[in-house]
Amino acid sequence: MSQPTDKIQKLQYFGEFGGVNPSISDSSTYTFLSAKTMFDTFEGNTEGCYLYSRHSSPSNLYLGEALAALEGTESANVYASGMGAISSVIMQLCDSDDHIVSSRTIYGGTYAFMKNFLKKFKINTSFIDITNLDIVANSITSKTKMIYCEAVSNPLLEVADIKELAKIAKQHNIPLVVDNTFSPLSISAAKLGADIVIHSLTKFINGTSDCVAGAVCASTDFCLALKDVNDGAGMLFGSTLDSLRSAAILKNMRTLHIRIKKHSENTLYLASKFEKDGLKIVYPGLQSHKSHTTFKNQMNTEYGFGGLMTLDVGSLDKANAFMEMMQSESLGYLAVSLGFYKTLFSAPGTSTSSEIPMEEQEEMGLSDGLIRFSIGLDNDIEKTYIVMTKCMIALGIINKESILAEV
Ligand SMILES: *Cc1c(COP(=O)(O)O)cnc(C)c1O
């Protein structure tokens, strides 16, 4: 079960002077000993030759190999952001007038890209309930070029049944594209049948909230197509990751397994406690979660159910007051994003999902009292629980009598 981590740990790259980390490729361009090799490299025919760092660089290839090991794919490309990865994949797969079947609960930026930006190319997207497999199958037309979803969705934590979705995709001969940003290691999307797996490395994989980066894990053919100098979306849009960042992310990835386990352990603890206290908690690790079984059936058990949970405190005013109080109690930061050592919280309806119109937010169950938490690596989570509970009592979100703990 520890396969993905073992595979990552087996990857050893030594530095130029025998260093324990690979040397960083500090160059945008590369010399050739012969002019013929340069021509062949442009044509994509020489392995191990570097052309220009927008195409690839040794540092980016090392990180790519680690990401391919994470997902168990043949290959992986890295990008300057998660959106750089997502937009490249979509533009690579779609021509004008094409169609996408996408989950309606996806990252706000991805939603905006599909809904607004792709209009320029007359590419239409049907935003559907990804947990309803009949609707997914019935939404596919002769113009559909992919099924798109998040393994665990943002921010409502719906879980996609990747095996079943992959079957539908296969029947229609189209790829299943899965954004696995919320559940690295916990869910091996490609092993379950996804053809293309995308990550925003900005979140858990880098884990230090100090840069933006992204990745596409897929077949070698698709990864090379994205890099093609003549018609590769990754190459031509130019959202290339800088080698210095790439090297830093690879080093952080070495501790991913430990971090994910701790994020999961802490989140399960808080979610279970708060649920017992009668609060409205959504966490896939709880039996009450509507996709608990789906997650359980496809997870790599030892990494847990991930570090994201939501809590509905009833109104935006209460959510804002609670978040400000938690921040002043040093429980975490009122900030978007996720996967940091410190807990991060935000109200998605007015932040990360504000691209989604109000009516649609309501329809998908995104209420304005909803707070999304990315739970941190707190050493004493019991203490965190007590301080959070004290804040909620002070704000009248919960009353003292209903609490089990001695707060
Ligand atoms: C953050 C995020 C993205 C976008 O990634 P960036 O690195 O910010 O471009 C895409 N998908 C999900 C699920 C995310 O959380």
Sign of CA dihedral 225, 230, 232, 238: positive
Q: Which of 67, 78, 81, 83 to mutate to test the pocket of ligand 1 (most atoms within 8 A of CB)?
A: 83
Q: Is 154 in the pocket of ligand 1 (CB under 6 A)?
A: yes
β-strand pairing of 124-128 with 214-218? unpaired
How many helices (H) and strands (E) would you count in the chain? Answer: 15, 12
Beta strands in 60-195 (DSSP E): 75-79, 99-103, 124-128, 144-150, 176-179
The whole model's pTM is what? 0.94
Instruction: Name the pLDDT band for 1 (thresholds 50, 70, 90).
Output: very low
Q: What pLDDT, on a 0 to 100 scale, did the predictor assign at position 33?
A: 84
Q: Which residue has the tokens 């570097």?
A: 50
Band the pLDDT of 219: cuts 50, 70, 90: very high
Atom in ligand 1 nearest the alpha carbon of residue 181: 13
How far apart (Å, rounded) are the C-alpha atoms in residues 192 and 214?
21
Is the model's pLDDT at 70 over the cut of 60? yes
Domains defined along the chain, listed by start: 4-253 (3.40.640.10), 258-405 (3.90.1150.10)
> What pLDDT is attached to residue 384?
98
Containing H/E element for 372?
strand 370-374
pLDDT at 363 over 80: no
Using 50, 70 and 90 to split pLDDT, how confident is the model at 350? confident
Distance 382 CA to ligand 1 centre (A): 30
| 3-state SS class at 128 | strand
Q: For the chain, what is the mean pLDDT?
A: 93
Residue entry with tokens 């990865």: 85
Largest Cα–Cα distance in the chain? 80
Ligand 1 atom with minimal separation from the 84 CA = 9
Q: How far is the CA of 130 from the centre of ligand 1 (A)?
A: 19
